[in-house]
């Protein structure tokens, strides 16, 4: 029996609803472009996230500045 997981692709603003078949070598359907195939497989095998936040800034035009991680962080390492 196939184990299907639904994933919403975040590679572009279209937000395709991907179906990933774990029992069939992570076969991806529902993608609108080739990026969705890689995203669907990666999201189920090695999920990562870019962490964003703001930091306080003194002596600048704005009191806070946006920051983000320089590379994706494994989802399992996030609190």
Asked if 13 and 28 sit in the same domain, the reply is yes
At residue 13, the pLDDT reads 94
At residue 1, the pLDDT reads 56
Q: Pull the structure tokens for residue 34.
A: 């080739």
Q: Pull the structure tokens for residue 21.
A: 């078949």
Token pair 């962080």 in the structure block, residue: 73
Eight-state DSSP code of residue 26: T
Measured CA to CA, the distance from residue 13 to residue 58 in angstroms comes to 34
22-50 confidence digits (pLDDT tens):
999 999 999 999 999 999 999 999 999 99
Token pair 């395709």 in the structure block, residue: 16
pLDDT at 58 over 60: yes
Asked if 41 and 12 sit in the same domain, the reply is yes
3-class state of residue 38 by DSSP: helix
Asked if 3 and 36 sit in the same domain, the reply is yes
User: Which pTM was predicted?
Assistant: 0.78
Count of domains observed in the chain: 2
Asked if 62 and 37 sit in the same domain, the reply is no
Share of the chain above pLDDT 90, in %: 87
- Residue 29's domain comprises 1-46
């Amino acid at each position: 029996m196939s184990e299907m997981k639904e994933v919403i692709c975040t590679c572009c603003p279209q937000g395709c609803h991907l179906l990933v078949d774990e029992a069939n070598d992570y076969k991806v359907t529902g993608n609108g472009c080739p990026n969705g195939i890689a995203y669907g497989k990666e999201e189920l095998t090695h999920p990562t996230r870019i962490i964003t936040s703001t930091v306080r800034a003194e002596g600048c035009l704005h009191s806070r500045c946006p920051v983000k991680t320089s590379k994706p962080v494994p989802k399992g390492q996030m609190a």
